[in-house]
Structure 1
């Protein structure tokens, strides 16, 4: 990614926090859990005690496994970790306020899509020398980089790709996963022919999830961003949206579908393909009454425009970054241990199916024996890339601007060429803010 030159104020704008929000950080500070450290982020870098901030500590399913990691570290190192957490939907805004005020120290868990905006605040340590000895996969290590600097140690690395229902494919007489756009469209038409209310491809068609159009645009050859030039509006992006509209009009995809709707349709046996993160298998299968569904779920590389093209997928996962200052050294060692120790990463995977980020972790029998995870890593994550718009503080607004234009095409209020031209202009204006 390239440096976007966004100021701290610009980064805060991403989270809906202007100057007033920063000034009011003391008020929001009342929401900080009781274990939070409210000292500045200066201090003794060699202090044994430090904070660890993670949204997973606020989630019932993930919390026990993470508390186990923390307890084991404390016992082994004779130190104390102050656990800090905020709900996921509030996490980034709260963390940004605390970092801006010098009130967050130690290790912080970050979604990879947030790394660039947080790194631009100038609070994170360079972890390049540490990452070099971690044994991370190339894709995982890259997920923790911004502007040539390693700001995060990759914890769990996966991707968002296509999941197929092999039972429905078999019912439709489809023996192999389609590999090209032409084959994929043909398969969707075959699936529609089996009837029963099946939506062949439960693609995103609601604005909230229509950022899923980006990998399809890239499949058709749109770079999205070429250097500093927004390329949405080029022939490739128009072709992609025209194709999406064709699927919509032929009822090969359905109106008003988001990720939750897609999971529900797939779980009911009413969809043959849908897009999800690697953990989608566990979530969708758990919600389904069909106990055989999990065995029918298969990872499928996104079909390509021409044979030999690289399948597109969006990188997905989390990293642990380190705040410069108090407890920096111990927090760094904790982050390295948590993300690379074979027993720790294997146990964490066993508890929540979050794939490790190291070669050794992926080779552990607990992980390697999980066929779905192994295939997903090899077929989808291997070629996954981050969004070129993650580097901008206005990323969420960029995604929404494009999504609204794509939806306008789907409902027939705009033509693909006009909509993509408008989307490109709006994105360019947002980036220049």
Structure 2
């Protein structure tokens, strides 16, 4: 990609706040994304690309892939020297691609001080790998619990349960009073999805799959108790086998599931998959995860989408690729995108915007995310292998092929060998 002929901004902060982008020679930016391949996102991202072209004269060429195919394509394209200019990723996916040589460090492209003017340091950490700022946060939130208030009403439940004991009782009530329901949309297939549910429930029961020094602890009493809960849920028809996150979203949208965990985009999925649009908004309620005992801190997991930049020719503040990133992160572009996707914008200015502060759903989500934790497994170099080990043993337990204790012990020995 050739350089642009003019410096477009006096400073990156001004670009974010005002989204003013100067004139430049026409250029084309290759943007690799899973959002442009999804029904819930491709239209609005297309409109953003059209706005960018109108403002700068530069075009955006989309390369859409499914979320699960992104890292594989990044690695293959790195080998064939066909990487895009800009790409979409997630903090938990970055360790897999973080060592690609063509990946640019935003601390050098933009400058650390300037980045801290735009983003909270905690959000910036989503894009850090080995001391480099290889990605900038785009949209953010947590992975947390969502309740379907219509399903709860049909089951005669007037208050969202707060403890595990109350939660289980509510699931039983849904099972018995809502025909053909799957009360808890627990992920029981797809190792990447299983991992998130498993980690959440282990945290709820007071454990952690990894100790503070990074050693596996999946056969601790707390972790075994969490696995027993998950297995019992399937055995007692409170959850179901062969459920992935997309399945849970459809069941939830069609009034067959009371609770499941997801990112804040749960609202957008419910609108689209239910066919009800914004009519369903009052039904989708972000709630705190149940706690083992009163006084425990509800758990949730850090989540967000980030933007990466490839190619030395793009690693200049005035390149068309950097201008596309600036445009996506400018307040008047980012905030409408984030609220359309039912998520939080990652910039300080975006979070402080009136559109976000007045959004009931996002305010409820923020209130339910008390102390989000980092997905420590995703940041491991062999995180994919670890996820596969955990997923296989969790499946063995929930499908009744092994007792939870045996599955936990086998998981422990395999993880010790892998780590």
TM-score (norm: length of structure 1) = 0.78
Correspondent of 2:390 among 399, 402, 412? 402
Correspondent of 1:83 among 47, 61, 64? 61
List aligned pairs for 1:251-290, cutoff 5 A: 251-288=237-274
The answer to whether the 8 A contact 1:320-1:335 is kept is: no
User: Closer, same or farther in 2 for the Cα pair 1:138/1:296, shift >3 Å?
Assistant: farther
Q: For 1:287-330, what per-residue CA distance to the aligned partner results, in whole angstroms no more than 9, with x for missing partners?
A: 22667543111001211223333322233321112235102123
Deviation at 1:349, TM superposition (A): 2.8
When the two structures are aligned, how many residues end up with a matched partner? Answer: 390
Is 1:175 the counterpart of 2:164 in the alignment? no
Deviation at 1:164, TM superposition (A): 0.6
Correspondent of 1:237 among 197, 214, 223? 223
Aligned Cα root-mean-square deviation (Å): 3.2
List aligned pairs for 1:131-210, cutoff 5 A: 132-208=115-191, 209-210=193-194
Deviation at 1:428, TM superposition (A): 3.2
Q: For 1:214-239, what per-residue CA distance to the aligned partner results, in whole angstroms no more than 9, with x for missing partners?
A: 21112223222222312222222111
Secondary structure of the 2:136 match is strand
Bigger Cα displacement from structure 2, 201-210 vs 235-244: 201-210
User: Closer, same or farther in 2 for the Cα pair 1:262/1:91, shift >3 Å?
Assistant: closer
Secondary structure of the 2:187 match is coil
User: Closer, same or farther in 2 for the Cα pair 1:392/1:287, shift >3 Å?
Assistant: same
List aligned pairs for 1:219-238, cutoff 5 A: 219-226=204-211, 227-238=213-224
Secondary structure of the 1:269 match is coil
Correspondent of 2:203 among 218, 231, 234? 218
Q: Residue 330 of structure 2 aligns with which residue? A: 341
Q: For 1:353-387, what per-residue CA distance to the aligned partner results, in whole angstroms no more than 9, with x for missing partners?
A: 3431123213333333331122113323x533332
Name the CA distance, whole Å, in 2 between partners of 1:170 and 1:59.
Answer: 31
Name the CA distance, whole Å, in 2 between partners of 1:167 and 1:72.
Answer: 39
Name the CA distance, whole Å, in 1 between partners of 2:254 and 2:36.
Answer: 31
Which blocks of at least 5 consecutive residues in structure 1 are unaligned?
1-36
Q: For 1:92-117, what per-residue CA distance to the aligned partner results, in whole angstroms no more than 9, with x for missing partners?
A: 22222333454436433222222122
TM-score (norm: length of structure 2) = 0.81
Name the CA distance, whole Å, in 2 between partners of 1:388 and 1:250.
Answer: 31
Secondary structure of the 2:327 match is helix
Name the CA distance, whole Å, in 2 between partners of 1:251 and 1:314.
Answer: 26
User: Closer, same or farther in 2 for the Cα pair 1:151/1:271, shift >3 Å?
Assistant: same
The answer to whether the 8 A contact 1:144-1:152 is kept is: yes
Name the CA distance, whole Å, in 1 between partners of 2:417 and 2:59.
Answer: 43
Deviation at 1:403, TM superposition (A): 1.8
Is 1:296 the counterpart of 2:283 in the alignment? yes
The answer to whether the 8 A contact 1:158-1:377 is kept is: yes
Q: Residue 318 of structure 1 aligns with which residue? A: 305
The answer to whether the 8 A contact 2:141-2:303 is kept is: yes
Secondary structure of the 1:192 match is helix
Name the CA distance, whole Å, in 2 between partners of 1:72 and 1:64.
Answer: 13
Which blocks of at least 5 consecutive residues in structure 2 are unaligned?
8-23
Name the CA distance, whole Å, in 2 between partners of 1:169 and 1:59.
Answer: 29
The answer to whether the 8 A contact 1:349-1:356 is kept is: yes
Correspondent of 1:95 among 74, 81, 91? 74
